[in-house]
Amino acid sequence: MRTPVRSRQLFARARQILPGGVDSPVRAFQAVGGTPLFIRRAAGATIVDVDGNRFIDYVMSWGPLIHGHAPPGLVRAAAATARLGTSFGAPTALEHELGERVRALVPSMARVRFVSSGTEAAISAVRLARAFTGRDRIVKFAGCYHGHGDAFLVKAGSGATTLGVPTSPGVTRAVAADTLLARYNDLDSVRALFDAQPAGIAAIIVEPIAGNMGVVPPAGQFLAGLRSLAMQHGALLIFDEVISGFRAAAGGAQAVFGIAPDLTCLGKIIGGGFPVGAYGGRADVMEMVAPAGPVYQAGTLSGNPVAMTAGLWALKRLTGRLYRDLARRGAMLAAGLADAARAAGVPVQVNAFGSVLTPFFTSSPVRDYDSALTANTGAYATFFRGMLARGIYPPPSQFEAWFLSAAHTDRDIARTIEAAHAAMKDVARAI
Ligand code: HOZ
């Protein structure tokens, strides 16, 4: 790898105008050291930085790029739409076309509202749940991340955990008090909250496959238990499928586990690499959203035609074969990383679900936030730098998912495993 001279220069300049030099904290490499690489271009599974270094990418824009970077067909479709106008602030047919496709894939979403990010989707879904139930409190799980809405920045995963601010300053005590915390994969912790507030909880919000404390799949009857607790207590169940939607399967985690939530939040893949989010669910709940009902929520760029076009392109290509290939390559990579760690004598647990995975540098199985936090972040940082030096770009944080795409080949995976063997030896020397 060439010394990232140009990235360093750009980062120095960016820091004079952007807080921390970036527009989203997880990009800043703070947890792994070094300078964030500034990207010039990408195609398929490869990214190229401004110094000419090439990497096999496992960040994949944090999940949206299930078909790889810049598929030519998607780029052509988006460009053709853009030529007709980039935004109107008025309806287009693309919005209900994408909505109908979402509903066909995720039948619990009888009505859909498009927004511009997963954060917006989660904020809006919780407001709606509060309005529908007439209750204030929500249950969230430590280590789950639902974007940066105030109510969610309490023991939040993703960049908030990476930066050591899982409960952010600036969230008022009143907001924090309305967010009740439970433990992922622990139904008793949820039961206890309902026992204490039998009629105060508007909703349970959960990542059905956690992806923001690293990947943590749901264990046993966890999701089914949440479904019945919510029903029993008149609360809504909200699945945040921003990461798992269209990735765990075309129908999301809810299809895989056979649990229908009341509301679902989507993002990432639904925009095909453009900024889109969506929330939706039961018609009786969603019909409370303005202008059909009184719960206000709006957005100038919501349903943006270029983004809707990219989303349609991406969702139309979610074939059974795509998921079989992704699962096979995901299993290959997970096994290869585990082997590399074993061979080097480094304690690592690889959690995987289809095309997402996380190697946790710990000897304890990871099934919730506390066990995720047992990971040795210093060891991950050494591993990360070792991979980068060998042409592989993993997420710059222990507490994030690696994403595969249709563009990753068996050869890419083999090269990644080879690099992992060498990088694990770096870790073994360092710990
Ligand atoms: N949910 C994404 C990573 N866990 C967000 C990426 C970001 O924060 O920039």
Give residue-wise pLDDT tens across range 167-217.
Answer: 889 999 899 999 999 999 999 999 999 999 989 999 999 999 999 999 999
Q: How far apart are CA 427 and CA 344, in angstroms?
A: 8
- Does ligand 1 come within 6 angstroms of the Cβ of 240? no
Residues 37 and 165 in one domain: no
Angle formed at CA 60 by CA 57 and CA 61, multiple of 5 degrees: 135
60, 81: one domain: no
Q: Which domain holds residue 406?
A: 5-66+319-430
Pairwise CA distance, residues 388 & 381, whole Å = 11
Q: What is the DSSP letter of 218?
A: P
Query: How sure is the predictor about 42, in pLDDT bands with cuts at 50, 70 and 90?
Result: very high
* Residue where a domain terminates, one of 289, 315, 341: 315
Task: Indicate whether 161 and 297 sit together in one domain.
Answer: yes
Residue 160 beta carbon below 6 angstroms from any ligand 1 atom: no
d(CA 216, CA 253): 13
* Residue 152 CB less than 6 A away from ligand 1: no
State in Å: Cα 251 to ligand 1 middle: 22
Does 238 share its domain with 323? no
For a mutational test of ligand 1's pocket, the pick from 26, 209, 270, i.e. the residue with the most ligand atoms closer than 8 A to its C-beta, is 26
**Cα angle for residues 174, 179, 185 (degrees, 5° grid):** 165
> 259 and 230, same structural domain?
yes
Does the C-beta of 24 come closer than 6 Å to ligand 1?
yes
The number of domains in the chain is 2
The best mutation among 39, 165, 400, 403 to test binding of ligand 1, ranked by most ligand atoms within 8 Å of the C-beta, falls on 400
158 pocket-lining for ligand 1 (C-beta < 6 Å): yes
Least confident window among 168-182, 231-245, 326-340, 349-363: 168-182
CA separation for the pair 2, 254 (Å, rounded)? 44
If you measure from the C-alpha of residue 275 to the centroid of ligand 1, how many angstroms do you get, rounded to a whole number?
13
Same domain, 353 and 290: no
Q: Whose CA is nearest to atom 2 of ligand 1?
A: 62
Q: Can you tell me the distance from the alpha carbon of 431 to that of 341, in angstroms, rounded to the nearest whole number?
A: 13
Both 394 and 301 in a single domain?
A: no
Q: Are 51 and 89 within one domain?
A: no
Are residue 408 and residue 264 in the same domain, yes or no? no
Both 77 and 62 in one domain: the answer is: no
pLDDT in tens, 334-353: 999 999 999 999 999 999 99
Residues 305 and 371 reside in one and the same domain: no
Mark whether 222 and 291 lie in a shared domain: yes
Catalytic residues: 145, 240, 268
> For residue 401, which atom of ligand 1 is closest to its CA?
4
Q: What is the CATH number of the domain that holds 134?
A: 3.40.640.10
For 424, half-sphere exposure in the C-beta direction (CA atoms, 13 angstrom radius) is 22
- At which of 255, 284, 315 does a domain end? 315
- Domain boundary (280, 315, 350) is at 315
Q: What angle do CA 257, 69, 250 make, to 5 degrees?
A: 20
Residue 165: strand, helix, or coil:
coil
Task: For the full predicted model, state whether its pTM sits above 0.85.
Answer: yes
Torsion of CA 246, 276, 403, 166, to 10 degrees: -110
Instruction: For residue 379, give the CATH number of its domain.
Output: 3.90.1150.10
Residue 167 is predicted with a pLDDT of: 82
